[in-house]
């Protein structure tokens, strides 16, 4: 697996070894779970956090760390889907999330390089009309958007929409600060405690330890143990990032273009972080080409030198551009980040705090996880149909290659009789053989040579070469298999 750019030493935490009680059990220790735990503890709730691996081992340290109200969906699209009143609430909620992060940073003295910066949205020549349309839609949504010349240190961006008072921070340092602040409020945090099941009375870890709690918050990026509810309303994408040496002078700012998939850019010290080149999870295996495309694109618009880092991460799109946040089916969820999960995760934490405290929240209806489709309903069905089409891969022939051809570090799906096997050769030359059947609902996993993982094209579950779950909705590891005759 590639190393996330924002990785840093986070405090080691114990695993949960015995049953316990709390008012709220939060599952997942990324930005959403830790913010929810902190805010709920401020309300006087007794909170336990259960994390599968370590704090921050999900997507939060893989991000470009842009806190903004400029979203992946354009505001003219959002106003078309949700209506103009809700577009204003969308802008208001993402702005409030950045304000809330700034408030927490100040109140808890968290040193995480939080800084207010401008954000610039730009468009290729053929999309200039859309850029002007977006300017109007942002202004109608209440954002302080203006059209400006591109800032110094850039090339050929053309006119840009500038939004002031967006923010940048170091998400690893922020998570470390949240762990400390939550701990001071009495939150009990446990790592290496994967949750196996949950209901409205609490959660149970794979090791069998139960947390009895009146409220369960699922902040696992995609809900675990979820067979039908969310997996079929989320569209998982891999997205790629490179860190290039900066050779010019560019003030700290955020940049996005309007392409689909779009590019996102921000400086970090002497590096320029450049992201994009997204594709559906498990539907391509060409990471190096995507990194090279990002470099080529970056050289057209910024002054950059050699590549220092490259990594990828996962985002979960929704058909209407908004996350699913809040109470549903007796539990609380934060999912469907749509590439804006730092702010969506913070909005979710604020909303869930209010719902558990019994307070009205103006964004509850907007982000309701059980909302009926808004906008084009066919769009909601499209991804489900695409995912279902991958189930047919069991019937496809081929892939009867020889495991002896696999070099150390390589993996491949090989057919043996009626079975498809996920076969990986480790650095020491040993073969690791598992069923290629994803343990969520049974699609065939694909090898991801960039991250050395088995990725499922249906709903985005990912597994390590040893079969362990890296990303839900799957909970169970890939089943071990034998490869006779090798
Ligand atoms: C390359 C990239 C760039 C991005 N850029 C931005 C950006 O600029 N701005 C922005 O707002 N967003 C951005 N995002 C999205 C954002 O980073 C994520 O949506 C956000 O960090 C998700 O936070 P989270 O807390 O919901 O999930 P995560 O950080 O994934 O945390 C979930 C946690 O749950 C744990 N978990 C999973 N299953 C279990 C279980 N069964 N039991 C216990 N624990 C479990 C995981 O181990 C993990 O630690 C980007 C994402 C990527 C990949
Ligand atoms: S993630 Fe649903 S079948 Fe693999």
Q: For residues 2 and 420, what is the distance between their CA atoms, to the nearest angstrom?
A: 27
* Nearest ligand to residue 178 Cα: 1
Q: How far is the CA of 2 from the centre of ligand 1 (A)?
A: 15
d(CA 424, CA 432): 5
Q: Return d(Cα 15, Cα 205) in angstroms, integer.
A: 10
Q: Which of the four pLDDT bands, split at 50, 70 and 90, describes residue 385? A: low
Separation of alpha carbons 125 and 127, rounded Å: 6
DSSP assignment, residue 395?
G
- The domain locations on the chain are 71-80+112-169+235-316, 393-471
pLDDT tops 90 at residue 469: yes
Cis omega (within 30 of 0) on the bond before 473?
yes
Neighbours of 228 (CB within 10 A): 8
Mean pLDDT of 102-127: 97
What is the pLDDT, as a whole number, of residue 42?
A: 98
Nearest CA to ligand 1 atom 32: 220
Which of ligand 1's atoms lies nearest the C-alpha of 240? 1
Give the ligand with the smallest distance to the CA of 211: 1
| Helix (H) / strand (E) containing 21 | strand 20-27
Would you call 277 helix, strand, or coil by DSSP?
A: strand
Taking the CA of 460 as reference, the closest ligand is 2
Ligand 1 center to 315 CA (angstroms): 8
Tokens for 213, please give them.
């709690």
Is the beta carbon of 348 within 6 A of some atom in ligand 1?
A: no
Torsion angles phi and psi, residue 191, rounded to 5: -100, 175
What is the best residue among 13, 170, 220 to mutate for testing ligand 1's pocket, by most ligand atoms within 8 Å of CB?
220
Nearest CA to ligand 2 atom 3: 441
Ligand 1 centre and the CA of 77: distance in Å? 25
Whole-number Å distance, alpha carbon 465 to ligand 2 midpoint, is 17
Same fold, 71-80+112-169+235-316 and 393-471: no
Distance (Å, rounded) from C-alpha 328 to C-alpha 225? 14
Q: Which residue minimizes the CA distance to atom 21 of ligand 1?
A: 60
Confirm or reject: Cβ of 93 under 6 Å from ligand 1: no
Residue 373 has pLDDT above 90, yes or no: no
- The more confident residue out of 224 and 433 is 433
Query: What percent of the chain shows pLDDT beyond 90?
Result: 85
pLDDT band at 398 (very low <50, low <70, confident <90, very high): very low
For residue 96, pLDDT beyond 70: yes
- Measured CA to CA, the distance from residue 338 to residue 351 in angstroms comes to 18
Q: Ligand 1 center to residue 59 CA distance, Å?
A: 3
Angle at 49 between CA 48 and CA 50, to 5 degrees: 120
User: Which ligand 1 atom sits closest to the C-alpha of 196?
Assistant: 41
Tell me how far the alpha carbon of residue 29 lies from the centroid of ligand 2, in angstroms.
Answer: 23
In tens, the pLDDT along 264-292 reads: 999 999 999 999 999 999 999 999 999 99
Q: Which CATH superfamily is domain 71-80+112-169+235-316 in?
A: D-Amino Acid Oxidase, subunit A, domain 2 (3.30.9.10)
Q: Which CATH superfamily is domain 393-471 in?
A: Rieske [2Fe-2S] iron-sulphur domain (2.102.10.10)
- The whole-chain average pLDDT of the chain stands at 93
Q: What is the pLDDT of residue 32?
A: 98
Residue 486 — very low, low, confident or very high, per pLDDT cuts 50/70/90? very low
pLDDT interval class at 143 (50, 70, 90): very high
**Ligand 1 atom index nearest CA of 344:** 11
> Which residue's CA is minimally distant from atom 31 of ligand 1?
30
């Amino acid at each position: 697996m590639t190393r996330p750019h924002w990785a840093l030493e986070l405090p080691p935490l114990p695993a949960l070894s015995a049953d316990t009680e709390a008012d709220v059990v939060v599952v997942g220790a990324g930005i959403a779970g830790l913010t929810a735990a902190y805010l709920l503890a401020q309300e006087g709730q007794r909170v336990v956090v259960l994390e599968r691996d370590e704090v921050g081992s999900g997507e939060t340290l893989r991000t470009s760390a842009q806190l903004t109200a400029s979203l992946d969906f354009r505001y003219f699209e959002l106003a078309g889907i949700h209506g103009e009143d809700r577009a204003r609430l969308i802008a208001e909620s993402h702005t409030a999330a950045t304000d809330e992060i700034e408030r927490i940073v100040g109140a808890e003295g968290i040193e995480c390089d939080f800084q207010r910066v401008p954000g610039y949205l730009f468009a290729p020549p053929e999309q200039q009309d859309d850029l002007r349309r977006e300017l109007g839609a942002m202004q109608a949504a209440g954002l302080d958007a203006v059209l400006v010349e591109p800032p110094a240190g850039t090339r050929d961006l053309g006119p840009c929409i500038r939004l002031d008072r967006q923010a940048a921070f170091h998400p690893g340092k922020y998570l470390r600060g949240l762990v400390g602040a939550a701990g001071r409020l009495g939150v009990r945090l446990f790592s290496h405690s994967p949750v196996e099941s949950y209901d409205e009375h609490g959660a149970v870890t794979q090791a069998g330890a139960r947390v009895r709690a009146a409220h369960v918050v699922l902040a696992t990026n995609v809900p675990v143990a979820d067979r039908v509810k969310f997996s079929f309303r989320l569209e998982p994408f891999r997205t790629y990032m490179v860190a290039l040496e900066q050779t010019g002078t560019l003030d700290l700012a955020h940049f996005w273009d309007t392409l689909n998939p779009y590019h996102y850019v921000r400086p970090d010290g002497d590096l320029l972080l450049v992201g994009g080149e997204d594709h559906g999870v498990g539907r391509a295996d060409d990471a190096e080409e995507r990194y090279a495309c990002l470099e080529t694109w970056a050289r057209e618009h910024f002054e950059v030198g050699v590549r220092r880092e490259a990594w990828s991460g996962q985002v979960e799109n929704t058909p209407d551009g908004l996350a699913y946040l809040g109470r549903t089916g007796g539990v609380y969820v934060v999912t469907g980040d749509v590439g804006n999960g730092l702010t969506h995760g913070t909005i979710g934490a604020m909303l869930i705090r209010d719902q558990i405290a019994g307070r009205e929240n103006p964004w509850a209806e907007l982000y309701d996880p059980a909302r009926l489709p808004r906008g084009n309903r066919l769009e909601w069905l499209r991804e489900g149909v695409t995912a279902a089409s991958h189930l047919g891969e069991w019937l496809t022939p081929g892939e009867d290659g020889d495991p002896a051809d696999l070099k150390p570090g390589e993996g491949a799906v090989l057919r043996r009789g009626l079975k498809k096997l996920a076969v990986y050769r480790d650095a020491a030359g040993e073969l690791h053989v598992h069923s290629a059947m994803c343990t969520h609902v049974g699609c065939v996993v694909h090898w991801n040579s960039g991250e050395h993982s088995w990725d499922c094209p249906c709903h985005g579950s990912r597994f390590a070469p040893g079969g362990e779950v890296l990303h839900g909705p799957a909970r169970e590891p890939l089943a071990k298999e034998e490869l006779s005759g090798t």
